[in-house]
Amino acid sequence: MATPDKIKSVTVHAPDTLVVELASGKSYRVSLAEPMAGVAGFDALRDPAMFATVQVVDWGWAIEWACGLSMASERLYQMGKEQSGEAYPLAEFRAWMERNSMSLTTVSQALGLSRRAVSQYSSGARPIPRVVGLALRGIDRTQG
């Protein structure tokens, strides 16, 4: 999986969606509807005028709004990959681990991956490849 790229530009598209263009030329449409609805710290962004104040900061490694809220390029990259279908959603991966009562070690053994890779997927440090999501579904089917 490629390393997250620096952000070249960010534009507002709809009341809860950003278009994030990376320095590599890749663009992602990232909806922030979920965190805006469920995370208290995102309350300020429900105001369209505040949401529109987003700008690229920290030499492209983050975005920030006038209210002081910021997001790292790594998280935007991960959300963009998940929402575009290029990566398996982190929340679903964590829910699968919990539902199956599996530790990082048992997941790594079941998938034939290093514990380090599974730890990075579980922590959100790396986007989860779609093939891992397919493997989780396969494990569910064989256990069911």
At 28-56, the pLDDT tens digits run 999 999 888 888 888 899 999 999 999 99
Residue 144 clears pLDDT 80, i.e. is over it: no
For the chain, how many residues are written? 144
- CATH superfamily label, 87-143: lambda repressor-like DNA-binding domains (1.10.260.40)
For residues 35 and 106, which has the higher predicted lDDT (pLDDT)? 106
Q: Domain 7-84, what architecture?
A: 2-Layer Sandwich (3.30)
pLDDT of residue 1: 40
Domain boundaries, the chain: 7-84, 87-143
Helix (H, G, I), strand (E, B) or coil at 80: helix
Provide the b/e sequence for 62-99 (b: ≥16 CB within 10 Å): bbbbeeebebebbbbbbbbbbbeeebbbbeebeebbee
pTM of the shown model: 0.74
With pLDDT > 70 as the criterion, what percentage of the chain qualifies?
Answer: 97
* Tokens of residue 74, six digits: 């790594």
